[in-house]
């Protein structure tokens, strides 16, 4: 990926994504952590545009920035007496050292491997993705829709108040 | 000036490890969930990087895989947050250290 434009875009997006990802880890207030998470999602969507995955970038904006972060905000606001604290448990040191060690291994492997690269951008369009989803991947596609329905019903069953369950049992 | 496959993969790896640290170390169950979402996003970034930069007979497969990962992530987020709300209703906490009903 040559040229000044993609390079500058890459470094800006890398800064945005990794700084706000660090903000999720470091911010003490849970609501601030959710806002940093939204910024990270937007940065990742920018990377998808840079990787010429335009449809996936739009899906990322709509699903992650639009739906999942609102869901997380709802969950934070529906648990008011649990506190807004975003603190660490007793395993914090172990977890962070494990993550740092894993990152070191990943970066070593990535820089050490000689990747077989393509020169040209494959330039996939939403039409090709749609064709692939409804021909080659039609069975996983349908299973995914069944999974979404099951998750929707399960989430409603889990989250509804106990009084309603009692009313349903009487009816 | 140019950026290559390594740059994107390193950003994906660092984002994944940040998500791992968040998921393993946070005390709030919703914080743990945010770490999982970060990890899923990093994996999507890596899949699309490979789809864009490496030689493949069908590069659209990587995109299709990312669509399924996003679908499963949405389902997982909905169920996990419903669980968090349900636990909060019963125990008035979403602190994973205090979810210890199974501990003798």
Of A7, A64, A137, Cβ closest to residue B3 = A7
Q: Which residues of B touch A159 (CB under 8 A)?
A: 81-82, 85-86
CB contact under 8 A, A22 and B82: no
ipTM score:
0.92
Instruction: Give pLDDT tens digits for B14-29.
Output: 999 999 999 999 989 9
Instruction: Give pLDDT tens digits for B27-58.
Output: 899 999 999 999 999 999 999 999 988 887 78
CA distance B102 to A168: 29
Residue A171 has pLDDT above 70, yes or no: no
Residue A153 has pLDDT above 90, yes or no: yes
Average pLDDT over residues A139-145: 94
pLDDT, position A162: 75
pLDDT, position A24: 93
Q: What's the whole-model pTM score?
A: 0.91
Probe site for chain A from B4, B14, B15, B21 (most A CB atoms < 10 A): B21
Of A22, A88, A122, Cβ closest to residue B59 = A122
* Average pLDDT, rounded, for chain A: 89
- With a CB cutoff of 8 Å and minimum separation 6, the contacts of B78 are A71, A151, A152, A155
Judge contact between B69 and B16, C-beta under 8 A: no
Residue A120 has pLDDT above 70, yes or no: yes
- With a CB cutoff of 8 Å and minimum separation 6, the contacts of A53 are A124, B48, B51, B52, B63, B66
What's B63-74 look like in SS3? Answer: HHHHHHHHHHHH
Of B5, B67, B77, Cβ closest to residue A115 = B5
């Amino acid at each position: 990926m040559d040229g000044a434009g993609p390079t500058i875009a890459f470094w800006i997006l890398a800064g945005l994504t990794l700084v706000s990802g660090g903000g999720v880890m470091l911010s003490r207030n849970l609501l601030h952590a959710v806002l940093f998470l939204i910024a990270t999602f937007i940065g990742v969507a920018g990377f998808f545009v840079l990787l010429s995955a335009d449809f996936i970038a739009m899906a990322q904006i709509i699903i992650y920035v639009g739906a999942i972060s609102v869901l997380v905000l709802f969950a934070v606001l529906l648990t008011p007496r649990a506190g807004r604290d975003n603190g660490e448990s007793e395993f914090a040191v172990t977890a962070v050292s494990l993550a740092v060690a894993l990152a070191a291994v990943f970066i070593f492997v990535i820089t050490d491997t000689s990747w077989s690269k393509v020169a040209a951008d494959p330039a996939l369009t939403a039409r090709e993705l749609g064709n692939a989803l409804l021909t080659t991947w039609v069975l996983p596609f349908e299973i995914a829709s069944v999974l979404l329905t099951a998750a929707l019903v399960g989430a409603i069953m889990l989250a509804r108040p106990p009084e309603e369950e009692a009313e349903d049992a009487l009816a | 000036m140019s950026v290559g496959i390594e740059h994107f993969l390193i950003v994906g790896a660092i984002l994944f490890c940040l998500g791992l640290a968040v998921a393993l170390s946070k005390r709030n169950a919703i914080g743990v969930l945010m770490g999982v979402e970060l990890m899923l996003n990093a994996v999507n970034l890596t899949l699309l990087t490979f789809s864009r930069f490496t030689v493949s007979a069908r590069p659209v497969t990587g995109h299709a895989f990312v669509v399924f990962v996003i679908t499963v992530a949405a389902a997982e987020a909905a169920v996990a947050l419903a669980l968090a709300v349900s636990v909060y209703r019963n125990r008035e906490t979403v602190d994973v250290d205090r979810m210890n009903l199974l501990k003798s």
